[in-house]
Amino acid sequence: MRGCDVQAVFESVLPNEALDGLIGDSDLQLRERKLEAKTLIRSAVIAAASGQGGRQAAVLRQYFEMGAARVVRGSAYGWFGDAFEQVMEGVSARALDYARTQPTDLPGVLGRHVKDWRVVDSSTVKLSSRLIDVYPGTGDYAALKVHKTFSIGVGTTVDYHLSPAREHDSRHLTITEDWRDMGLLIDLGYASIGRLNDCERHGVKFVIRLKNSWKPRVQSVEMGKLAASLCKGTDLDFMLADGILELDGQVVDATVEIGGRDTLTCRMVGTLGPKGYCWYLTNLPADVSPDEVRQLYAIRWEIELDNKLDKSCNQLDRIGAETPSTVRALVHASVVASMMVCLLAHHHRLEEGGPAKNRPYRAKPPIHPQTLGRMVATASHSIAAALGLRDGPEANDEWDRIASMLLHCGTDPNWRNRPSVLDQMRGWKIRPGKKRLSKAQNRPK
């Protein structure tokens, strides 16, 4: 990890000129002589990883520790209003624009048929009960959902929006022409034959688990053991119950038709897992093997890890604000903080490069976003100070020092015995650690 990469991420999202423009377009600085607005905005993002992020008190603590003029706490709380939300929306838009322009890291099958794989999911944030009229949850509590689109190629969120938690996830995903040449990985909360047909219509590749209520009609079997001749259009359940299709532990690859009036023809892949066969639907061509289809669906878990980064490191689930505008602003701050951590990890992966043919095993541990996020929190004061330095030898030395510390303490401690599926799909092979000798074997003879 290089200092110039760390500097590029933070100064692309939180640059002086852009913040001046966003603050000038709002009323945040209006009649507030003692408010240092740029410091407040940077404090909101940096404080998200401070261990108490998401609360105005943590933002103000970071703000004052960055050297801003002290004011009465009651007056400072008045800064968190509509203008503050407007500026944070602008910072979020800058972060998303920066993430979308990054080069992707999709070697091998990951980039064979798509420009990027996108994962869509939501994360629920419980709020103060005073906000139940604005953000009703599914019970007698207040909550909102953060609907995210996560890029596998860049390793971070590239789009998100907010809604009351009571609204179903499915209504917040629409496949349009903007999705052309992308890949889509979704769980059963978004399962819809109409949506899969939209993917076909707009040139989007998809991988999704087979929903229990869907009854695929098998048209042909390319891989799999048939005990009898196949009658085209036979239900999968009937074939399994009558033993026409034998599940002997081998993969199954078939062409199926699902739906009634809204019919879809696609591949159905079955692979044996710890709890039995897992069935997937996809429109990927046959050069993507069933095992690769299974692995592609498994990397959908990356968005779950990103949701955990939002909550465990950047305190998304600790928002104690009681006004809708402040809640939304602090959600933006937490998501942007997570995005910057993921972008740092992405820059490091690009710098590191992929495995060589003669060296398919890792010699150094990979960056782990959650571990890196905790180190960013530890270095928050140093990062804030570095943002105030002008370009020059002093600034370069400081960014290099920060980068060295982040790299040293931000790596994955379990990289040998629990490598990620995505890491393996990028070509890194598993090298088991050497077997440890017992204490008796270690004793000198």
Q: Do 325 and 338 sit in the same domain of this protein? A: yes
Q: Do 88 and 20 sit in the same domain of this protein? A: yes
Residue-wise pLDDT tens for the chain (445 aa)? 888 889 889 888 888 888 889 988 888 877 666 788 888 888 888 877 766 555 788 888 888 887 888 888 778 888 888 999 999 999 999 999 999 999 999 999 999 999 999 999 999 999 999 999 999 999 999 999 999 999 999 999 999 999 999 999 999 999 999 999 999 999 999 999 999 999 999 999 999 999 988 999 999 999 988 888 888 888 898 888 888 888 888 899 999 999 888 899 999 999 998 888 999 999 999 999 999 999 999 999 999 999 999 998 888 888 888 899 999 999 999 999 999 999 999 999 999 888 887 788 877 888 888 888 888 888 877 887 887 777 788 888 998 999 999 988 888 877 776 778 898 888 887 766 566 666 565 666 5
Q: Do 308 and 421 sit in the same domain of this protein? A: yes
Q: Do 253 and 306 sit in the same domain of this protein? A: no
Q: Range of 408's domain?
A: 3-101+302-425
Distances (CA, A) of 85 to 24, 90, 91, 112, 325: 14, 9, 10, 41, 6
Residue 351 lies in a domain: yes
Q: What does DSSP assign to residue 437?
A: P
Q: Do 264 and 374 sit in the same domain of this protein? A: no
For the residues of 50-110, what is the DSSP string, one character each?
Answer: SSSTTSHHHHHHHHHHTTPPP--HHHHHTTSSHHHHHHHHHHHHHHHHHHHTSPP---GGG
Torsion sign, CA atoms 366, 370, 374, 377: positive
Q: Do 306 and 421 sit in the same domain of this protein? A: yes
The token duo for 300 is 């959908």
- What pLDDT is stored for residue 288 in this prediction? 95
Residue 132 lies in a domain: no
Q: Do 405 and 306 sit in the same domain of this protein? A: yes
Which among 303, 296, 306, 305 has a CA at the least distance from the CA of 183? 296
Which among 262, 265, 259, 268 has a CA at the least distance from the CA of 240? 268
Q: Do 323 and 419 sit in the same domain of this protein? A: yes
Q: Do 204 and 260 sit in the same domain of this protein? A: yes
Residue 255 lies in a domain: yes
